[in-house]
Structure 1
Amino acid sequence: MGTPKHDVFQAIADPTRRRLIRLLAEQELPVTEISKHFPMSRTAVSKHLRILNEAGLVQKKKAGREIRYKTQPDPLLEVKRWLAYYDRFWDNKLASLKYHLEQEQKED
């Protein structure tokens, strides 16, 4: 596939693109159908799809005269791995909160 032109994190930073990924995870659709789900022009939707495609997050294929898109979730593993590193901080905070709440209950 080669090196993506767009960074996965930049691609998913936009809420519209996150919605596109979710929509296309459910089904493969052409731009005309995708555009019906967004309050913007087909050209604007196409631009978002191009960025997602260049980041490897959506795959396009020609089906007759139309191009259909679907989610390609593999690049999201990079995001998952990055977030997993920070899980330990959340786990520590939750454990600390639990401890403090239990101490307050003992004092009551």
Structure 2
Amino acid sequence: MNTQTQNAFRALADPTRRDIVQMLAVKDMTIAQLTDRFDMTRAAVKKHLTVLSDGGLISVEARGRERINRLEPQGMAPVLDWLSYFDQFWDERLADLKKAIEGTQK
């Protein structure tokens, strides 16, 4: 597994960060807006945002004094690519099972 994929999985490993990703999927938000939705300090939210940024899942844009956090959907690509292997794996296994069951029913 490459570093980009590891960073994306690390970012998604925490339930708070997954919640942040879901919120940013709806709209771009500042750190203050995100902090209002969690029972934690601004510094703690900032740490979560840093991990999400390192994982390529969000980007941060400075607008004046505010920093706007935006979901970067393409950051999910390494995770989806890794998981797609298992989709194919199970599709093949289930197809084999179906053939075996159908073969015994004749």
Q: TM-score, normalised on structure 1?
A: 0.77
Instruction: Select the structure that is richer in helix.
Output: 2
1:20-75 residue CA offsets vs partner (Å, 9 max, x unmatched): 11111111111111112212111111100011112221111111211110101112
Q: What's 1:22 paired with?
A: 22
Q: TM-score, normalised on structure 2?
A: 0.78
The CA distance in 2 between the partners of 1:68 and 1:79, in whole Å, is 24
Query: How many residues in Structure 1 have an aligned counterpart in Structure 2?
Result: 100
The CA distance in 1 between the partners of 2:88 and 2:69, in whole Å, is 36
Q: CA deviation at 1:92?
A: 4.5
User: Unpaired segments of 5 or more residues in structure 1?
Assistant: none
Return the letter of the residue paired with 1:21. V
User: Unpaired segments of 5 or more residues in structure 2?
Assistant: none
Any runs of at least 4 consecutive aligned residues in structure 1 with deviations exceeding 3 A, and if so which? 92-97
Q: What's 2:47 paired with?
A: 47
The CA distance in 2 between the partners of 1:93 and 1:16, in whole Å, is 34
The CA distance in 1 between the partners of 2:79 and 2:43, in whole Å, is 28
The CA distance in 2 between the partners of 1:56 and 1:84, in whole Å, is 19
